[in-house]
Chain A
């Protein structure tokens, strides 16, 4: 009997201890590449640091987590350790996260860049194509050879959508422009990505844009003495002479909003796709070589996109074969954008 009493006292005090600890909210982040990549994971980690500064919130992260079974284990361990919110920031984490979400109904799961959701799992992403369109306008205004080079990651809708938006932006200011695409099939491989950029430079491109997380293509452009468009975060420190601007992520407001919602109990699973209106995507500051009139045109367009007055994918939009994919007077819906597997007219390359 005495043992039972002692045990119950111990258990009670443990319970109180846990209740006291529960005030601190634990938020975990899973990244696909090292946070030192200056790119995609770095941008998410800036969002995490903003969350870390909130009162009563603790954060932790695991970086370089491979998609597939490894990610399932990492997410599972975070859930077991009692993390309240888990952000997984790569497409391949979708199914693993869904499996774990089913086992931990009281944990909030946030998956970036996928399309599946559950009672306790949201998916979210930003309308990066809006910022890509603006960066395309800058590239289109700066090119002399009228050939733009695009170092592309994987032939998936997200990347294809970005290339199309970039191309449409460039054509808006310079109708004769063509965009040459090279696939590296990498997310982070500085050497391969730099080589791919060089091959585009050899093909006559004089502005290089990219989708990967490394600054390799930026360096290639600077070495050749031409211009470049970064991605993910302001990459101007890597190539100050060539970096025109970059479409960049700004996750802090969204992450803080989600953490607040969970704290207040108002959080609900959803498919969120915020854009420039919410400040999730934006353009990095222009380099000094971008003329003032170009800056003004782009800034004006930025305001139009943010206010909703201008939609990037409004018809008529033709594919590479010249067939009309988005009819005149219509705007592509999200379904079309999320499943985009074709290039617009003016892109040189295949989606395979």
Chain B
């Protein structure tokens, strides 16, 4: 039998590493096709339906874009913290706080002119999300708590706070007791672009994505963050204010997730209600890792993942495949892509027989 030796690659693969990535995705799709066959669904048609549903028409692309917006922003947020090796699992809660902050502004000042009100909503969302991110950062630096546990626990607090508000003081009196705030006024809604179904939130994503890149590439703080992420002790020795940076990234991280919460409440739901929480904060962590924390990759990955989730609905509708199938494909892709990272740094060389 042919045997292989594992050798570290001497030169970096660079752009060629995308072939490894594509192979991994192809493998995941192949395995998905096998599962379709086992269900008795024609596999090629099934995968084609999936792609058509996700990217095959103008509607499909628009739907995937809309769904990608909150995933992208949350993911950008967690990537900021991850670059400093601060494990922010709390994007879900920061997203909820952002939605709460934006809703507060929308319900308190419904009559302000649109640009003023929207800016206020963004401000309130970022402050609320940022403060929610700052608390675990301060606890970590002052009391030495573990930020993974604290951010995770604060998600539940945030969701309960959101429920308290929509079941209580913010409940729409005209909703027959159902938990939802009144509809936002016209001025508080981020509109759609032209005749398309996509909201202007996509521009927010574009600007914030570019700012993220500029921040990490050209500013001194951005450089300090990257350096501290590689080695905390070296950073401290070099006089980099590590404590300050931890708080800073968590505030930025929370503010970005909060911004996503604002867009979701304002642009897609037009009010606050418990069903705004669908787990984007957790999806964001997966996306950030798949994209290796790079903003352009995050954009592409968010779009593809959103497309997958949208496409699976077509697969259900046209081929009567159960909903759980989508989660299985997602899991397969995550597994193969993360495993393929191995081949970016190592190669397998056949051992010659002597």
B323 touches A64 (CB 8 A): yes
Select one of A66, A69, A352 contacting B168, CB under 8 A: A352
Q: What is the interface size of chain A, counting residues whose CB is below 8 A from a CB of the partner?
A: 37
Q: Report B239-269 residues with CB < 8 Å from chain A CB.
A: 264, 268-269
Once bound together, how far apart are the Cα atoms of A66 and B278, in whole Å?
7
Identity of the chain A residue whose Cβ is nearest the Cβ of B175 in the assembled complex: A115
A62 touches B313 (CB 8 A): yes
Q: Report A197-237 residues with CB < 8 Å from chain B CB.
A: none
Once bound together, how far apart are the Cα atoms of A61 and B314, in whole Å?
10
Q: Mark B151-168, 1 if CB is under 8 A from A, else 0.
A: 000000000000100011
Identity of the chain B residue whose Cβ is nearest the Cβ of A71 in the assembled complex: B275
A74 touches B313 (CB 8 A): yes
B59 touches A81 (CB 8 A): no
Select one of A28, A95, A115 contacting B176, CB under 8 A: A115
Identity of the chain A residue whose Cβ is nearest the Cβ of B275 in the assembled complex: A67
B278 touches A77 (CB 8 A): no
> Which residues of B are found within 8 Å of A68, using beta-carbon distances?
268-269, 273, 275-276, 278
Identity of the chain B residue whose Cβ is nearest the Cβ of A340 in the assembled complex: B177
Q: A156-B178, A157-B176, A339-B177 are contacts. A78–B275 as well, Cβ < 8 Å?
A: no
Q: Is A34 an interface residue (CB 8 A)?
A: yes
Once bound together, how far apart are the Cα atoms of A91 and B53, in whole Å?
26
Give min CB distance, A103 to chain B, whole Å: 10
Identity of the chain A residue whose Cβ is nearest the Cβ of B309 in the assembled complex: A70
Select one of B66, B316, B323 contacting A69, CB under 8 A: B66
Residues of B within 8 A of A (CB): 53, 59, 63, 66-67, 163, 167-168, 176-179, 264, 268-270, 273, 275-276, 278, 310, 313-314, 316-318, 320, 322-324
4 shortest interchain CB distances as A-B pairs? A67-B275, A64-B323, A68-B275, A69-B268
What are 10 A-B pairs at a CB distance below 8 A? A60-B320, A62-B317, A68-B273, A69-B67, A70-B278, A74-B317, A80-B59, A95-B270, A339-B176, A339-B177
> Which residues of A are found within 8 Å of B322, using beta-carbon distances?
34, 36, 63
Give min CB distance, B302 to chain A, whole Å: 15
Identity of the chain A residue whose Cβ is nearest the Cβ of B183 in the assembled complex: A95
Identity of the chain A residue whose Cβ is nearest the Cβ of B176 in the assembled complex: A339
Number of A-B contacts (CB under 8 A): 81
> Which residues of A are found within 8 Å of B320, using beta-carbon distances?
60-61
Give min CB distance, A143 to chain B, whole Å: 29
Once bound together, how far apart are the Cα atoms of A77 and B49, in whole Å?
13
Once bound together, how far apart are the Cα atoms of A19 and B176, in whole Å?
43
User: Interface on chain B toward A: helix, strand, loop, or mixed SS?
Assistant: helix
Give min CB distance, B303 to chain A, whole Å: 15
Once bound together, how far apart are the Cα atoms of A70 and B70, in whole Å?
13
A185 touches B163 (CB 8 A): yes
Give min CB distance, A146 to chain B, whole Å: 29
Q: A66-B275, A352-B167 are contacts. A91–B178 as well, Cβ < 8 Å?
A: yes
> Which residues of B are found within 8 Å of A160, using beta-carbon distances?
177
> Which residues of B are found within 8 Å of A69, using beta-carbon distances?
66-67, 264, 268-269
Q: Is A73 an interface residue (CB 8 A)?
A: yes
Once bound together, how far apart are the Cα atoms of A345 and B318, in whole Å?
50
> Which residues of A are found within 8 Å of B67, using beta-carbon distances?
69-70, 73
Once bound together, how far apart are the Cα atoms of A63 and B276, in whole Å?
18
Q: Mark A143-157, 1 if CB is under 8 A from B, else 0.
A: 000000000001111
Q: Mark A311-324, 1 if CB is under 8 A from B, else 0.
A: 00000000000000
B323 touches A73 (CB 8 A): no
Give min CB distance, A44 to chain B, whole Å: 15
> Which residues of A are found within 8 Å of B273, using beta-carbon distances?
67-68, 92
Once bound together, how far apart are the Cα atoms of A78 and B316, in whole Å?
11
A34 touches B275 (CB 8 A): no
Q: Mark A19-63, 1 if CB is under 8 A from B, else 0.
A: 000000000100000101000000000000000000000001111
Once bound together, how far apart are the Cα atoms of A157 and B163, in whole Å?
16
B168 touches A92 (CB 8 A): no
B168 touches A156 (CB 8 A): no
B317 touches A81 (CB 8 A): yes
Q: A157-B176, A339-B176 are contacts. A78–B317 as well, Cβ < 8 Å?
A: yes
Select one of B163, B168, B323 contacting A34, CB under 8 A: B323
Give min CB distance, A27 to chain B, whole Å: 12
> Which residues of B are found within 8 Å of A62, using beta-carbon distances?
313, 316-317, 323
Identity of the chain A residue whose Cβ is nearest the Cβ of B267 in the assembled complex: A69
Once bound together, how far apart are the Cα atoms of A170 and B275, in whole Å?
34
B178 touches A60 (CB 8 A): no
Give min CB distance, A36 to chain B, whole Å: 8
